[in-house]
Amino acid sequence: MRPAGRFVGEVLTDLASRVKVGTNLLEIDRWAHEHIRRRGAESCYIDYHPSFGASPFGYVICTSVNDAVLHGLPHDYALRDGDLLSLDFAVSVDGWVADSAISMVVGEKKDEGDLELIALTEEALARGIDAARPGKRLGDISAAIGAVAHAAGLRVNTQFGGHGVGRTMHGDPHVPNDGRGGRGLKLRPGLVIAIEPWFMAGTDELRTDPDGWTLRSVDGSRGAHSEHTVAITDGDPIVLTARG
């Protein structure tokens, strides 16, 4: 799974470096699609149609802006100075999948609250990864993530979270972003999971856009999202989607 993870990390690094004020979300999708074609990879999103989606996704990357936090459907929108943008990207390379997400503030108008929210998801991701060790339990990862959110006064939605990754993008086990340590599946070497804390500044409740995909905070507060695909080993966890 290393080649898939390396590719996903490289693509997100490139996209983040190219995004600026005026960049259209459809342009970001086109850039991601070009990377996929050049690599001979396969998108995990374009034909993806789970029970919670209104139709096949139709694009190769999720672009969530401001109060949108998950599953943002690319559309004709030019990014503005100060927008909080999350990119979530998953592909299959030679039959193996990797999945990762990154959040950033576009332009020069950087709200301190947005930067803090992004930093909290990144800290929670690091804590979750550190807990992904053999002999621990799935709940230890969830508890580590949730502790970061609760210490900052945030509420946590556990409807969507991390998940198993392998030949397909979404598999067992579900990895909630909050939980109790010492509970759940025992972690063993060879298990590969996506760990993905996402937080909203003012609520833990979501609403779905008319597009049938984009998930937004019910109160209009902003959201941030960080994710890596992580392999559990006999020693330290391996972050397969590490970005240079």
- pLDDT per residue over 32-74, tens digit each? 999 999 999 999 999 999 888 889 999 999 999 999 999 999 9
Residue 29 marked in a binding site: no
Residue 227 marked in a binding site: yes
pLDDT-based confidence at 244, cuts 50/70/90?
A: confident
The reported pTM is 0.96
Residue 75 marked in a binding site: no
Q: Where are the domains of the chain?
A: 2-239
> Residue for token digits 């374009």?
46
Mean pLDDT on 130-155:
98
Alpha-carbon distance of 231 to 1, in angstroms, equals: 9
* pLDDT attached to residue 50: 86
For residue 139, pLDDT over 80 is answered with: yes
For residue 94, pLDDT over 90 is answered with: yes
Spell out the SS3 assignment of the chain: CHHHHHHHHHHHHHHHHHCCCCCEHHHHHHHHHHHHHHHCCEECCCCCCCCCCCCCCCCCCEEEECCEEECCCCCCCECCCCCEEEEEEEEEECCEEEEEEEEEECCCCCCHHHHHHHHHHHHHHHHHHHCCCCCCEHHHHHHHHHHHHHHCCCCCCCCCCEEECCCCCCEEEEECCCCCCCCCCECCCCCEEEECCEEECCCCCEEECCCCCCEEECCCCCEEECEEEEECCCCCCEECCCCC
* pLDDT attached to residue 229: 98
Residue 99 marked in a binding site: yes
Domain 2-239 belongs in CATH node 1.10.10.10: no
Residue 88 marked in a binding site: yes
* pLDDT attached to residue 51: 84
Residue 163 marked in a binding site: yes
For residue 10, pLDDT over 80 is answered with: yes
